[in-house]
């Protein structure tokens, strides 16, 4: 399965450790290239957010469709 970078959230009964959440995009090898390109752009913008690179965050998320 293909998926995105995921993020961390508290889960009921597991509040001591954040749990990673993933979005499944489809079966490996069957996900359209456009969808993978959007995933990659989102991952880059999310990485910039985590590094607090605010100019790159804004530019990255503005490239994505709303």
Domain housing 8: 2-63
pLDDT at residue 51, as a whole number: 95
DSSP lists the bridge partners of residue 26 as 2
Residue 46 has pLDDT above 80, yes or no: yes
Percent of the chain with pLDDT over 90: 59
Residue 21, pLDDT above cutoff 80: no
Share of the chain above pLDDT 70, in %: 76
pLDDT at 56: 95
Q: What is the pLDDT of residues 23-34, one digit of tens each?
A: 889 999 999 999
Q: How many domains does the chain have?
A: 1
pTM: 0.69
Is 2:36 a contact under the CB 8 Å cutoff? yes
Sign of the C-alpha dihedral computed for residues 54, 60, 63 and 66 taken in this order: negative
Please answer whether residues 37 and 4 qualify as being in contact, where contact means their C-beta atoms are separated by less than 8 angstroms.
no
């Amino acid at each position: 399965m293909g998926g995105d970078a995921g993020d961390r959230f508290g889960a009921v009964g597991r509040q001591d450790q954040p749990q990673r959440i993933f979005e499944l995009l489809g079966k490996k090898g069957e996900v359209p290239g456009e969808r993978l390109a959007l995933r990659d752009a989102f991952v880059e913008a999310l990485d910039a957010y985590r590094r607090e690179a605010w100019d790159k965050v804004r530019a990255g998320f503005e490239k994505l469709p709303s």
